[in-house]
């Protein structure tokens, strides 16, 4: 698909370039905020799986830049934003970047060090593995990322804090809801307008972090495993048997963003074409610095050379 054709078919891709966002995902976080006011009172944020950085840009523009511009804000009072990804990303005003793996236990320590031992008000995670198209497999790998994010949350989030994470809707969504309800008094699944209806992607918005009394971070997996199992912990909201029949739980699911706003599944005419002029597509704001596909392309190129060279070999060699 050409750039102009993609601009036409994907209004959020075009708008992202026009508004200076590195990725169209920026609109998802903005639309979640429209519904849940997730940035209210936030001073410390962790952005997990942040590259190429459009969510970090949103955090910077909504939290850091206004504070920096305010004459009353001292330097030691500026919001702190820590962004983590396997991949490097180009710098963003007020964002501390850590290149690392969120499934690594030491990642939480690195974050805490940046916050001088203080806890975060908000943790966001837009992490996604490379999708295979096999829904069960994609959902499973995605749930492993959410578990890694939740592990970090239990170490770095303050009581009362919020957590937002990308999920893939599937048969285990109810289980995930119940697991998250152990830690947050309010859990809502949200579908921003900018997330295509055809995609199984959604976001879980968890409010008011309140881990069970006496909770020890080391016991996280033990506790999660008990949810929904026949020997499940008794005092949970979601008890065993919740998946079926009269005990079935209904998960709060909310569409967010201006519902009369742009529809991500629709094509829109290109602006200057409407006025009779020719349309010039903008370049992406910030291409990834070292995307994995670069290595893959280099490897393919090298192997193609290999095959070409082999072709030149005599048949009996
Ligand atoms: N929120 C980002 C933005 O707005 O630009 C987009 C995130 S992109 C959809 C998913 C990211 O998850 C990729 O950059 C990928 O490198 C990252 N990722 C996947 N697994 C990870 C892991 N185990 N640790 C850290 N980052 C990971």
**DSSP reduced 3-state for 166:** strand
CA distances in angstroms from 113 to 11, 46, 47, 146, 180, listed in the order given: 40, 12, 15, 22, 26
Residues that are catalytic = 166
Residue 185's pLDDT is what?
Answer: 95
pLDDT tens for the chain, 317 residues: list them. 567 788 888 899 999 999 999 999 999 999 999 999 999 999 999 999 999 999 999 999 999 999 999 998 888 889 999 999 999 999 999 999 999 999 998 898 898 889 988 999 999 999 988 778 888 888 888 888 999 999 999 999 999 999 999 998 887 888 889 899 999 999 999 999 999 988 889 999 999 999 999 999 888 888 888 776 655 444 445 544 455 555 566 778 889 988 778 888 888 888 876 566 778 888 888 877 877 777 888 888 888 766 545 454 444 43
Atom of ligand 1 nearest to the CA of 26: 4
User: Of 155, 247, 136, which Cα lies nearest the Cα of 200?
Assistant: 136
Cα 167 from Cα 272, distance rounded (Å)? 37
Residues near ligand 1 with C-beta < 6 Å?
22-23, 25, 49-55, 84-87, 101-103, 126-129, 145
- Is ipTM strictly over 0.95? yes
User: Is cis: bond before 52, omega within 30 of 0?
Assistant: yes
Place of tokens 């934003």: 81
Q: What is the pLDDT of residue 190?
A: 96
Tokens of 205: 């918005």
Closest atom of ligand 1 relative to the 47 alpha carbon: 1
> Which numbered atom of ligand 1 lies nearest the CA of 28?
4
The CATH number given to 3-288 is 3.40.50.150
Query: Cα(14)–Cα(3) distance, rounded to whole angstroms?
Result: 9
Read off the tokens for 49.
């799986």
- Using the mean position of ligand 1's atoms as its centre, give its distance from the Cα of residue 232 in Å: 33
CA 125 / ligand 1 centre spacing (Å): 8
Domain boundaries, the chain: 3-288
Choose one of 85, 107, 122, 290 to mutate for the ligand 1 pocket test, by most ligand atoms within 8 angstroms of C-beta: 85
**Nearest protein Cα to ligand 1, atom 2:** 50
Query: For a substitution probing ligand 1, which of 16, 28, 32, 51 has the most ligand atoms within 8 Å of its CB?
Result: 51
53 is in an annotated binding site: yes
Q: Is 101 a known ligand-binding residue?
A: yes
Q: Classify burial at 211, counting beta carbons within 10 Å of its beta carbon; exposed 0-12, middle 13-18, buried 19 or more.
A: middle
Residue 147 CB contacts under 8 Å (≥ 6 apart), including other chains:
221, 224
33 is in an annotated binding site: no
126 among annotated binding-site residues: yes
DSSP annotation of 168 reads E
Per the annotation, does 235 bind a ligand? Answer: no
Q: How many angstroms does the Cα of residue 254 sit away from the middle of ligand 1?
A: 24
SS (H, E, C) 173-214: HHHHHHHHHCCEEEEEEEEECCCCCCCCEEEEEEEEECCCCC
Q: Check residue 239 and give its pLDDT.
A: 45
């Amino acid at each position: 698909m050409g750039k102009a054709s993609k601009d036409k078919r994907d209004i959020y891709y075009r708008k992202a370039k026009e508004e200076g966002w590195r990725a169209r995902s920026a609109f998802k976080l903005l639309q979640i905020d429209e519904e849940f006011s997730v940035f209210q009172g936030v001073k410390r944020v962790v952005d997990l799986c942040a590259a190429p950085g459009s969510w970090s840009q949103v955090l910077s523009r909504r939290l850091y830049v206004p504070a920096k511009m305010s004459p009353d804000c001292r330097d030691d009072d500026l919001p702190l934003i820590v962004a983590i990804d396997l991949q490097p990303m180009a710098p963003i005003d007020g964002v501390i970047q850590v290149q690392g793996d969120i499934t690594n236990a030491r990642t939480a320590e690195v974050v805490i060090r940046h916050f001088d031992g203080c806890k975060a008000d908000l943790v966001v995670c837009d992490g996604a593995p490379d999708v295979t198209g096999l829904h069960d497999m994609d959902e499973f790998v995605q749930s492993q990322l959410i578990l890694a994010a939740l592990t970090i949350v239990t170490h770095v989030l303050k009581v009362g804090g919020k957590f937002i994470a990308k999920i893939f809707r599937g048969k285990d969504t109810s289980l995930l809801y119940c697991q998250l309800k152990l830690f947050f008094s309010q859990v809502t699944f949200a579908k921003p307008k900018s997330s295509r209806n055809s995609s199984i992607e959604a976001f879980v918005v968890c409010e008011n972090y309140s881990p069970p009394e006496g909770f020890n971070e080391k016991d996280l997996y033990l506790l999660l495993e008990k949810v929904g199992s026949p020997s499940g912990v008794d005092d949970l909201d979601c008890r065993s048997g919740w998946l079926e029949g009269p005990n079935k739980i209904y998960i709060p699911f909310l569409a967010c963003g201006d519902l009369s706003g742009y529809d991500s599944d629709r094509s829109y005419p290109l602006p200057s074409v409407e006025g009779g002029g020719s349309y010039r597509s903008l370049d992406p704001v910030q291409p990834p610095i070292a995307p994995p596909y670069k290595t893959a392309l280099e490897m393919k190129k090298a192997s193609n050379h290999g095959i070409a060279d082999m072709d030149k070999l005599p048949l009996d060699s």
